[in-house]
Amino acid sequence: MNLIEKIKWFFWPVEQKEQKQTILMIIVLFLVSFVYSILRTLKITILLADPTLPSQALSYLKIFGIMPAAIVFTWFAIKIQTTVGQRKTFFIMNAVFALIFSILTFCVLPYQEAFHLHFSGQHELISLLNSWYITIFYVAAEMWSSIMLNMLCWGVIIEITGHKDSPRLYSIFSLAANLATYAAGWWGSSTIKAQVKYFMNTNNPTWDQSLLYQMIVLLICQALIMVFFHVAISSQSDRHQKTLSKKVRLGLKECFSIAYTNPIVRYISMMMISFNIIYHLSDVIHSDYVRNVFTGDPVAMNAYLNCVGKYLGIYAVIFSWVLSGSFVRRFGIGPSLLFTPVLWFILSILDLLSQLSILPVVPVTWYGHIVPMYLLSFSLILSVGRAAKFTVFDTAKEMSLLPLSLEEKRLGKASIDGLTSRLGKTGGAWLVIILLQQLGSLAAALMPLKIAMMLAYGLWFWSVFRLITVLKVYGHEEKEAFNGAMAAA
């Protein structure tokens, strides 16, 4: 292999026979990730822009809305998957989400004042019930990431990628997902206003017009997902498509069981629980900061969040292209699993030092607003830290499932991405609620929340080290089995 071929292989390590299906699945993953990235900023903006919903309502929403929804959606997806297979389940679930978003976009959100309920009371659950359309939108957006992106899209990629091919191909898929994050952030922060002016024929676009335009674009993306995914799976011959025996049961009971009995799934689940505790606490603090800085200006708020998403995409692309693939291939799964928690821990330490005034703080002007350092520090955690999580860490996490059987992979994906990951966010939400009840405000609970984050890092590091140990055992068993088969032959 000459120098030019080596350079080409470094950036595009795809064999000729894999080109068509790889490119098609890259497009599908890009579109699914693009929809996820836009939905993420929209759900936060819609929630924070409603003056009747306090910042801590997010914790109640994750406990009483998202966790039950995760159980229902995961159960529904598993039941369909058992009946018609994983690929048809992808089509059906995409259509379900398209229907939900269409009803909200065209029938409910434009007339939300008419649909707003008026139950009396100051409790956060009553506020969420009164603004039920915002609650449903937020929950549906969260389920898109759990079901469509993590469980189904990555589930298909895991099944069509061989164990030996994963180190080189997963970095390509990761790069596609993170390019979508950047594209969504750039689109949301730089071009939406001009496009809304043009397509809506107005000089002063309102937030409602911007929301409508973004949702129409997302529905178009969902239609394109159906088309490209159909072409991608059609390019794979029937004899290569993996199916389960009719005798195999897939259900919620089996999902919880494999998380308890299978050590790989168990330690991945514990990693994701600890990460999601940290992520939820960071997200709650960041959301409260954003609301305080951009009060009464949802357009500027959405622009700032999209800018955070844009820089998340930039960092993620750098991690994916320059670091992720070569890092996993060179150093293996163990160091790749450790890279992200180490980075998150360092960023959290820097934030603590900034809060304690040990590091200097310099406010920055953004969209005519003075953005304080405490907001920028958490934006940095949620951009650089999530970029590392979406690239090096997620690539290694998905590769950790490859030694499992087809049944274990599907149950493991459903358990990890549909259920146990949500337990982390639910646990973080309960912690926020308990501290708020004891201390009265997020400002007073700020330092205890950050201390809780530090404790969660301990669980994250412990579960990573345990998973590395288990994977070494699985790798040894696979090698022994291979040597035995060769000897018998």
Q: What is the pLDDT of residues 211-224, one digit of tens each?
A: 889 999 999 999 99
The tens digit of pLDDT for each residue in 298-344 reads: 777 777 777 777 766 676 666 655 555 566 666 777 888 888 899 88
Helix (H, G, I), strand (E, B) or coil at 371: strand
Q: Please answer whether residues 403 and 478 qualify as being in contact, where contact means their C-beta atoms are separated by less than 8 angstroms.
A: yes
Q: What is the DSSP string of 133-180?
A: HHHHHHHHHHHIIIIIIIIIIHHHHHHHS-TTTHHHHHHHHHHHHHHH
Q: Is the pLDDT of residue 284 over 70?
A: yes
What does the pLDDT look like over 388-422, one tens digit per residue? 777 778 777 877 887 887 778 878 877 887 777 77
**Residue 6, exposed/middle/buried by CB under 10 A (0-12, 13-18, 19+)?**
exposed
* CB contact set of 41 (below 8 Å; sequence gap of 6+): 184, 185, 188, 302, 305, 306, 309
Structural domain boundaries of the chain? 19-235+250-483
Q: Summarize the confidence of residues 141-167 as an average pLDDT.
A: 79
pLDDT of residue 260: 81
Instruction: Kindly state the greatest CA–CA separation across the chain.
Output: 77
pLDDT at 240: 45
Query: Predicted confidence band at 135 (pLDDT cuts at 50, 70, 90)?
Result: very high
CA distance 481 to 175: 34
Q: Which of 447, 427, 430 is nearest to 275 (CA)?
A: 427
Which is more confidently placed, 229 or 259?
229
Q: What is the pLDDT of residue 359?
A: 57
Q: For position 194, what pLDDT does the model report?
A: 85
Confidence (pLDDT) at 1? 60
Query: How far is 257 from 423, CA to CA, in rounded Å?
Result: 15
CATH of domain 19-235+250-483: 1.20.1250.20
Structure-token pair, residue 147: 């079901």
pLDDT at 219: 94
Q: What is the mean pLDDT of residues 48-73?
A: 82
Q: Which residues in 18-33 are b (16+ Cβ under 10 Å) and which e? A: beebbbbbbbbbbbbb
pLDDT of residue 472: 82
Mean pLDDT of 246-271: 76
- Model confidence over 103-134: pLDDT tens digits? 998 999 888 888 988 888 778 889 889 999 99
Answer yes or no: is pLDDT of 361 > 90. no
Give the per-residue pLDDT at 324: 53
Structure-token pair, residue 52: 């009747």
pLDDT for the residue numbered 132: 93
More confident residue, 378 or 63: 63
Is the CB of residue 315 less than 8 Å from the CB of residue 305? no
Give the per-residue pLDDT at 247: 45
Mean pLDDT computed over 162-187: 74
Question: Quick one: what percent of the chain has pLDDT higher than 70?
Answer: 81
CA proximity to 339, closest of 322, 325, 321, 327: 327
Residue 180 in this model has a pLDDT that exceeds 70: yes
Contact yes or no for 317/175 (Cβ under 8 A): yes
This model's pTM is above 0.85: no
Q: Closest Cα partner for 448 from 423, 462, 428?
A: 428
Closest CA to 367 of 310, 305, 283, 285: 305
For the ranges 16-25, 229-238, 436-445, 479-488, the lowest mean pLDDT is seen at 479-488
